[in-house]
Structure 1
Amino acid sequence: EGVSSAHARWRPDGKFLAFLSARDEGKTQVWLLNRLGGDAERLTDTPQDVQDFAWSPDSSQLVLVLRDASSEELEAAKENKDEAVADRARAAESEAKDKRKAPKPWVIDRLQFKLDEVGYLDRRRTHLYVFDLAAKSLRQITSGDYDDSEPAWSPDGKWLAFSSNRSVPDPDATYDQNIWVVPASNSDKGAHPRQVTTNPGADGSPAWSPDGKWIAYVTQMDPHLFDYATKHLAVAPATGGEAKLITLALDRMVTVPRFSPDGKFIYFIADDDGTQNLCRVPVTGGEIARTVGGRLMVNDYSLAKTGDIVAQIATLDHADELYTIPDGKLTRITHTNDALMSQLKLSYGEYVHFKSKDGTIISGYLYKPVDYVPGKKYPTILRPHGGPVWAYYAEFDHLPQLLAANGYAVLFPNPRGSTGYGQDFAKAIWADWGNRDFQDDMAMVDYAIEQGIADPAKLAVGGWSYGGISTDFIIAQTNRFKAAISGAGGALFSSFYGHDHYQRDYEAELGHPWENKAVWERVSPFYKVANVSTPTLFMGGAIDWNVPILGSEQMYQALKRLGRSTELVVYPGEYHEFKKPSHIKDRLERYLAWYAHFVKGDSTPARPVPTPKSGE
């Protein structure tokens, strides 16, 4: 089809697979595919994109997550129902392109008024709808000036749990997302939802117990710390009432909670020490068992009514496959990536530990060059990760493999600020970016040099998102790197306030820029730009509202004015996460060209040489 498909979900009877796709040049809809093969059938036909969906237990209904349709979407949908009108409209558009009406202006009155991949936010909100497959009818079951998401059917199909921030007076000002429940058959658009949780932090990922009496969910107890706070597993009565924290002592990020078929245990994925393991804990609390442990990455899992488990797992040397656990033994049942992996010569990432400047033990993944020879020193690339509250994991990653295949040692540190090491470790960089995490990143470079792997005269750095921000911090504090690539970075954060989509986070962590000027300036490496001598390539997406291209433009402008070696590459039509394969390929080629020229000292230019077209 030439169009990506995603979010595959088995119909409960196991005979059909539903998924999301924007086929036929239309909106993203739910499609249905027979497991025996054949063409997919479109189930839904909404004016706007379907963002998420879930099957009802009896397979007769779907709950859809839809953002309120715009007037343009409603008008287009009305026209498309009449082919003659649609044909005339297309003909008129073709004949009078230069006479098109100017787009309507955006009228903004919300505190949170931007979101990457959406753009400006108006009062159109995201709500739940129930779609009846037999009648092809759609019924709205939540409403209001709130965004609703993460729907989950009760076992009897009578209720839907969901997460929503409905705090007053303004949900945009808080992290107070809670779990709510509405009747799946309600006819008043969910005017009176039942509130299940009351924690002032974010609660999400609701999952029902088999008897429908309890809801397990993920909770963050300290809204002041927002993403830095550990996400714990909790359980609450489905009717509302006192909640119980189940994994408080674990102090690790928890995701994807699901009850065992007998209702006695709750499974979840734990982010721990550079891995993601599948764990299980009694509903009443107690000892946590690792159903799937070890240095690997559990990305998802499914529980059968029999209690059997299928897990989607990646390892450092193999991309995702499906595994079962018969008699407690992890057994791979798919070989989707075997043909590809058999053609590749890989560098197996080593999980290493080293001391930072203040003695703190830091961990990370080290990839040696393909065909590494002990005793030989290699050009080395430090790659700070994004987030900052995220981590590098024991999973197959194309980037370190590409760089290792081109003769580089690659360093993937998990500095303070990373997940998987406890809340204190994560919050150690709170309002203090580019300090402890800088020291930790440098400690991994020093470790690689001490081990005789990295050539201290041929060091490079580069990252994306907070990895790009870290790169800006690094080149402003040291000149030890021969080249840098800052992707989707930022360096003057007061200029991002009201320009990106992080106003709530900025205020929680840094305060208002007009009141806490010293804090905002301390975390802005732009003010140290005169110290930068490292040849630096800046890049980003033209419509990225997560970390806008403005940050790269400012750093590029300053370095260009200072006469430094620098370049700026802006990708049209790209958000924070790139979508177009040609742009993704171009970005990788620019990585290799920049590093080869400035780090290896190759005679090749610092930008990729265009491939001649056929016949030239």
Structure 2
Amino acid sequence: MRACAALLLGASLLAFCPDARAEASCADLLPGRVAADAPRRLINADDLVRLRDIGRPEGSAFSAPTPLGASPDGQEVAFILRRADPGSNSYCLGLVVVSRDGAVRLLDQGGELATASLDGEGGRMPTGVPEVWAPSWSPDGRQIAFLRRDSGVTQLWIVPAAGGKARAITQGKVDIEAFAWSADGRSLLVAARPAILTDRARVDAEGLGGWLYDRRVAPNIGARPRPPVGLAVEVRLIDIATGAERTATQAEAEQLAESRKNEPFARGKDGQRASLSPESAAPLSPERIHVRDRAGRDIACPSPLCLGDVQGVWWDAQGHLYFLRREGWAKEDMVLYAWNVDDSTPRPVLRTRDVLLGCVQGGGALYCLRENATTPRYLARIALTDGRAESLFVPNPEFAHIRLGSVERLRWRNDRGLAAWGDLVLPPDARPGQKFPLVVVQYHSDGFLRGGTGDEYPIQLFAARGMAVLSLERPAFVATGQTGLRTMEDFNRAMQAGWAERWSLLSSLMTGIDAVKARGIVDPDRIGITGLSDGSSTVRFALINRPIFAAASISNCCFDANMVMMQAGIAFADKQRAYGLPPLTRPDPDLWRPYSVAMNAGKLNRPLLMQLSDDEYIHSLEGFTALREYGQPVEMHVFPGEHHIKWQPAHRRAAYLRNLDWFAYWLQGARDPDPAKQDQYARWDAMRSHEATPISGDRP
């Protein structure tokens, strides 16, 4: 199986095969037995790149849909298992069922990785984040329906739950986006947007006379106008036995729409409903649990434990409501509560610092994905009555024999009083009294410490190479709770005013570094910093305003005046002007000075590595060009066919290894003896010896 993934660029569906020379070997998609006496060893890059994954990889993916589907009797759970293969730059995927007793069976194997797009200003935007599709069991439990992508199109498939040949139910030209079984199990409801074909043809025709440059165009993605937001969803009903199709009724379409809801919602067997409602109309208002009882009355849970950060709600057979909530210091804990609607105070059933993701109910238990700082994700079953947890399926048993660095949770408040935390990771062989270089990784740190947000900065690889790592969890938004904010535009304007959010995050970063330095275990002259997206913004702001770092690496760049108003397109520019940034024709250097790489290029003399996607690198050109003109130590690499999050396994591996080499070179003076890296070190040696000079005789 070779995953030749389809990329949605503008409105064009382009087949993209990063490496057509090799086929992925998927024989080890399911884990094999690992000998109990297998020798322990240090981690390597392929251990991380080839992790078997269920759902989205980041532990803090709060809003991601569940990848799990529980059987009607609650005795089994199905999911799509994924493993990257960097050698072929593709993925192995398969439909897996795990039984209550831990038995595992692979029902289907094949297909391509699908990446998600989101509604952006002016049109749809590709993200690089994996799509998450939960398999669904027929009402009688005898068949499983699931989505699978082949040849660039996502179709609906079914397979006998006991095993047998899987077959496609749909053969259309557009993606199936959602599906649900009919009540009798004889038919399937499917949702798609066939209007995408009409839009694609319209844009093709427009191109014959030249595309209008308007809000649809994001120059970083390309000149072609993007697919519009809000194309109509069409729902059809397909008879499984005959293949006959018809347009769904309004009631059937509403049934499918309800099944697609990603927010916590539960319906009890006696008609009770539980959902969340915001406390106010303010942006990001916390949500409270509400129950609509059998008589139709709305009952708000009065306890503060029912307000904010609820991750899921479920009813048991006795009419008790269970809910999972994040709480504690900067939301580092997860607590499962039981609430009798007649009582005022919920009862805690389970409290853990582990991350629980994608929980679905199966009988009197929850099936959840569980992980922690040193344990990759696995499938667990948690009894609702007493919170007793057991492991059902460990996708990566090899990690039991990999020596990882030790992890300690540090906590602090920044100068705004906001709570934050960081995980301090020390090398596996750390001894008392040793001092290490320190690498900062951002910007979420819950769950397995893999590569930070975006998964490009391999925390445990840094530790295995003798570096300490501070993995940061960002504090709450500085504008949260601020009075007088009525809309998200108000909220974002408050965040951007005077770079308030950036200063808050910088304070959290520096306070965390100070907490590590106070322990006397790091060399203050050998601190590196990394980041993607919001983390990259923190890196750049820190390099300008707190230049304590010996080297830096970022995955996105930059936020400069010309970039904001030109390179990201009309829609993005209009949005930033609404947030308070000046237009291109009325520059405000004083406003931009704390944040602009281009304006500060003359003093940014710290080695900076940029590893960027090809649909974002254009944003870096203003800052990169200014750094180059000043002869600063900067290097840029552009990865083809990538988006905000890099999804291709070969690229992930390359980013890991280059980041490892970069920080080993600048913080430890070490180099990989591989002859293939000779040119890399020649460039870096030139940077170190100041052989890089301005491109003209006088500095600008």
Aligned twin of 2:101: none
1:412 aligns with 2:471: yes
1:311 aligns with 2:368: yes
Q: Which amino acid aligns with 2:448?
A: E
Aligned twin of 2:613: 541
Query: Does the aligned pair in 2 maintain the 1:461–1:481 contact within 8 Å?
Result: yes
Query: Does the aligned pair in 2 maintain the 1:363–1:414 contact within 8 Å?
Result: yes
Query: Does the aligned pair in 2 maintain the 1:594–1:607 contact within 8 Å?
Result: no
Aligned twin of 2:390: 332
Deviations 1:232-253 (A, max 9, x none): 5445699999785777666542
1:531 aligns with 2:603: yes
Secondary structure of the corresponding residue to residue 328 of structure 1:
coil
2-structure distance, mates of 1:328, 1:610: 59
Query: Does the aligned pair in 1 maintain the 2:607–2:633 contact within 8 Å?
Result: yes
1:559 aligns with 2:610: no
Aligned twin of 1:475: 543
Aligned twin of 1:18: 145
- Deviation of 1:584 after TM superposition, in Å, equals 0.9
Deviations 1:352-408 (A, max 9, x none): 1235456765322111122111210111111231xxxxx321434253222212221
Q: Which amino acid aligns with 2:592?
A: E
Aligned twin of 2:275: 216
- Deviation of 1:68 after TM superposition, in Å, equals 3.5
TM-score by length of 2: 0.64
TM-score by length of 1: 0.72
Partner residue of 1:29 out of 155, 164, 171? 155
Partner residue of 1:395 out of 440, 448, 461? 448
Secondary structure of the corresponding residue to residue 293 of structure 1:
strand
Q: Which amino acid aligns with 1:434?
A: R
Aligned twin of 2:360: 302
2-structure distance, mates of 1:497, 1:251: 40
Aligned twin of 2:429: 371
- Deviation of 1:488 after TM superposition, in Å, equals 1.7
Aligned twin of 2:169: 43
CA spacing shift, 1:448–1:204, aligned 2, 3 Å: same
Aligned twin of 1:489: 557
Counterparts of residues 206-285 of structure 1 (less than 5 Å) = 206-212=265-271, 214=273, 216-217=275-276, 219=278, 221-222=280-281, 225-226=283-284, 229-235=285-291, 244=300, 252-270=308-326, 273-282=331-340
1-structure distance, mates of 2:140, 2:670: 59
CA spacing shift, 1:43–1:446, aligned 2, 3 Å: same
Q: Which moved more, 1:519-528 or 1:62-71?
A: 519-528
Deviations 1:203-234 (A, max 9, x none): 955544434463524648445x35xx445544
Aligned twin of 2:696: none
Secondary structure of the corresponding residue to residue 586 of structure 1:
helix
CA spacing shift, 1:261–1:53, aligned 2, 3 Å: farther
Counterparts of residues 83-102 of structure 1 (less than 5 Å) = none
Deviations 1:87-123 (A, max 9, x none): xxxxxxxxxxxxxx97896568768989989971336
Equivalent pairs, count: 524
Q: Which amino acid aligns with 2:520?
A: G
Deviations 1:454-473 (A, max 9, x none): 21121100111111111111
2-structure distance, mates of 1:605, 1:418: 44
Aligned twin of 1:129: 235
Secondary structure of the corresponding residue to residue 337 of structure 1:
coil
Q: Which moved more, 1:281-290 or 1:294-303?
A: 281-290
Task: Name the Cα RMSD after superposition.
Answer: 4.5
Query: Does the aligned pair in 1 maintain the 2:477–2:501 contact within 8 Å?
Result: no
Query: Does the aligned pair in 1 maintain the 2:555–2:612 contact within 8 Å?
Result: yes
1-structure distance, mates of 2:577, 2:344: 37
Counterparts of residues 140-219 of structure 1 (less than 5 Å) = 159-162=255-258, 204=263, 206-212=265-271, 214=273, 216-217=275-276, 219=278
2-structure distance, mates of 1:608, 1:263: 65
- Deviation of 1:142 after TM superposition, in Å, equals 9.3
Query: Does the aligned pair in 2 maintain the 1:365–1:411 contact within 8 Å?
Result: yes
- Deviation of 1:129 after TM superposition, in Å, equals 1.4
2-structure distance, mates of 1:592, 1:350: 22
Query: Does the aligned pair in 2 maintain the 1:384–1:441 contact within 8 Å?
Result: no
1-structure distance, mates of 2:192, 2:653: 33
- Deviation of 1:503 after TM superposition, in Å, equals 6.9
- Deviation of 1:329 after TM superposition, in Å, equals 4.7
1-structure distance, mates of 2:190, 2:462: 42
2-structure distance, mates of 1:558, 1:549: 15
Aligned twin of 1:322: 379
Partner residue of 1:442 out of 499, 510, 513? 510
Aligned twin of 1:521: 592
Partner residue of 1:353 out of 398, 411, 434? 411
- Deviation of 1:69 after TM superposition, in Å, equals 3.7
Aligned twin of 1:187: none
CA spacing shift, 1:606–1:535, aligned 2, 3 Å: farther
- Deviation of 1:554 after TM superposition, in Å, equals 2.6
1:8 aligns with 2:134: yes
Identity, in percent, stands at 19
Aligned twin of 1:120: 226
- Deviation of 1:299 after TM superposition, in Å, equals 0.7
Query: Does the aligned pair in 1 maintain the 2:563–2:622 contact within 8 Å?
Result: no
Aligned twin of 1:198: none
1:453 aligns with 2:512: no
1:464 aligns with 2:532: yes
1-structure distance, mates of 2:212, 2:291: 41
Q: Which amino acid aligns with 1:573?
A: G
1:430 aligns with 2:536: no
Aligned twin of 1:577: 645
Secondary structure of the corresponding residue to residue 638 of structure 2:
strand
Secondary structure of the corresponding residue to residue 363 of structure 1:
strand
Aligned twin of 2:486: none
CA spacing shift, 1:522–1:424, aligned 2, 3 Å: farther
- Deviation of 1:435 after TM superposition, in Å, equals 0.6
2-structure distance, mates of 1:511, 1:13: 57
Q: Which amino acid aligns with 2:412?
A: F
Deviations 1:434-471 (A, max 9, x none): 21210110111111111122211211001111111111
